[in-house]
Amino acid sequence: MAIISEAFGPFLAESGPNDRREAIVIYKTPEPARAMRERRKKRMNPRQKRRYLSDLAQIQAPVQLASLRKYRKAGKARLPKSDPRDLETSTSGEMEGAMPFAYVQVTRKTLTALRQSKNIAAVIPNQRIHLLEPREIDYQVLRSQEQAAGMTWGLERLDIPGVWAAGNTRGSGIRVAVLDTGVYDQHPALTGKVADFIVVDPLGNRVTTGTRFDGGSHGTHVCGTIAGGKDRNGVDIGVAPGADLLVGGVLIGDATLRTLVEGIAWAVQQGADIISMSLGFTYYEPQFELLFQQLINLYGILPVVAIGNENHGNTSSPGSAPSALSVGATEKMSSTRTDVAFFSSGASLSFPGATIPLVTKPDVCAPGVQVYSSIPPQQTSSGIYEYTYMDGTSMATPHVAGVAALLMAAKPNAGATDIADALRDTAYHPGGNARRPDNRWGWGEIRPVDALAAL
């Protein structure tokens, strides 16, 4: 039985019985004779390859052509007598038969008939394709724009100064735990921001170190976006510069789930209000839902988790847990517009019979491409660097964690669920609210000023 692409869904649901749609039919290719198989195994020069394809086409073309004739005939029988036009069919031109596909017009009825064909592997709708739109933002241009604005593009896009003013807070009194590669707390943008630090080893042991350090640069970058101050050019990098950071180095060495769980337990004991996690693995693990429900319902802690950089159709745990506030990444396309970054993950998870039968991830999006933030100092041939640009849902997540800190500080009576709901409800989806949530934007790119007003 042939596979009919799910992308035909709108056509099957909304078209009339005789409406036509262009489609691509992919054939099951007949197994070539042994002599052909032997030729295929050998290394061929371009001329030999062309000859091989031509010979292959001669074998396969009759199968395709007979199949198309049969399809046109069957189609005619299914069309109304008032429509004299045959269903259009064509193959791939010069090398007809070499490629196992053909173009056909389908109707709802013939599509159903194609499903029964023994010679067809799949049918997909012909679609418009387009160039991936190049970003109008140049790296150097962005840098000068951020210096002129006095803040990163992410802070400007989310109107963080608007939240600072409307909420009369920069996150003071809120404790944000960052479970990551650690932090370089001597960084000038992070001075005095790290309230506590611990390393958790792969066996789940808590290791207190004399020096706070970053096993890479990821954790310091994330911390800068949550609570960093200004860089040397006066650019604000942090969303909630008044918040206290609790940094758990759980990604130093070979981390395991046990490491992560102990890091979460430590954050709970240190009084965290939010736990920011730019980490994960690639299958759905139901136990994280239990754990996150406990964090939210028992301790009032909001788990904010990156959804992953695996592109559309994927999610990662623990971001895929229904109770996680999962975050996708947007990128700046022009001075007024963002789009979801091509790498940003998202999918719907189905749980037949469960209280929540369908979970759509991510929950929200935030700036996650060309994010400027702090790193441990790095000596290069052209000098010492303390800041850099990074891309990823890892960089979008601390924007949301920082905003949650601002909202919690401004609205002390709001619980973790209230904060998450306000961020989802007020998020901006360019397709309009009727499209929300979907697997690219989730509920949309967060609008912190509106979320504050909604609480």
Partner 1 sequence: MAVHEKLSAEFRERLDALDDGETMCVLVTLASPKSSGTPRRKREHRKQILAEVEVHTTSTLDELRSLIDASGGEILGVSRPLSIITLQAGRRLIEELADSDLVAGIIENQPIRGIESR
The CA distance from 396 to 400, in Å, is 7
Q: Does 300 bind partner 1 (CB under 8 A)?
A: yes
Q: Which is nearer to partner 1, 98 or 305 (CB)?
A: 305
Least distance from partner 1 to the Cβ atom of residue 224, Å: 12
**Could you tell me if 176 and 405 are in contact, meaning their C-beta atoms sit under 8 angstroms apart?**
yes
Helices (H), 79-138: 108-115
Q: Does 14 bind partner 1 (CB under 8 A)?
A: no
Return the residues of window 147-166 that contact partner 1 according to CB under 8 A. none
Cis peptide before 134 (omega within 30 of 0): no
| Catalytic residue set | 180, 218, 394
The CA distance from 391 to 7, in Å, is 30
Q: Does 412 bind partner 1 (CB under 8 A)?
A: yes
Q: Does 306 bind partner 1 (CB under 8 A)?
A: yes
SS3 295: helix
Least distance from partner 1 to the Cβ atom of residue 69, Å: 46
Least distance from partner 1 to the Cβ atom of residue 6, Å: 21
Pairing of strands 325-332, 302-306: parallel
Q: Does 122 bind partner 1 (CB under 8 A)?
A: no
Exactly one of 100, 171, 241, 392 binds partner 1 (CB under 8 A); that residue is 392
The CA distance from 79 to 165, in Å, is 66
Q: Of 157, 177, 152, give the one whose Cα is nearest residue 446.
A: 157
CA 103 to chain centre: 33
**Could you tell me if 276 and 398 are in contact, meaning their C-beta atoms sit under 8 angstroms apart?**
yes
The CA distance from 102 to 87, in Å, is 13
Least distance from partner 1 to the Cβ atom of residue 227, Å: 18
Structure token pair of residue 1: 């039985």
Scanning 7-15, 22-30, 130-138, 389-397 for contacts with partner 1 by CB under 8 A, the matching segment is 389-397
Return the residues of window 233-272 that contact partner 1 according to CB under 8 A. 250-251, 254-262, 264-265, 268-269, 271
Q: Does 286 bind partner 1 (CB under 8 A)?
A: yes
Exactly one of 87, 155, 390, 410 binds partner 1 (CB under 8 A); that residue is 390
Burial of 155 (0-12, 13-18, 19+ CB in 10 A): buried
Q: Does 312 bind partner 1 (CB under 8 A)?
A: no
The CA distance from 115 to 109, in Å, is 10
Q: Of 380, 381, 320, give the one whose Cα is nearest residue 351.
A: 320
Return the residues of window 187-206 that contact partner 1 according to CB under 8 A. 203-204
Site string for partner 1, 347-376 (x = CB under 8 A): ----x-xxxx--x-----------------
Least distance from partner 1 to the Cβ atom of residue 202, Å: 9
Least distance from partner 1 to the Cβ atom of residue 179, Å: 10
Structure token pair of residue 267: 């954050």
The CA distance from 117 to 123, in Å, is 11
Residues in the chain: 455
Q: Which is nearer to partner 1, 188 or 415 (CB)?
A: 415
Q: Does 113 bind partner 1 (CB under 8 A)?
A: no
Interface residues with partner 1 (CB under 8 A)? 180-181, 203-204, 216, 218, 221, 250-251, 254-262, 264-265, 268-269, 271, 273, 278-281, 283-287, 289-291, 294, 297-300, 306, 308-309, 316, 322, 343, 351, 353-356, 359, 390-395, 412-418
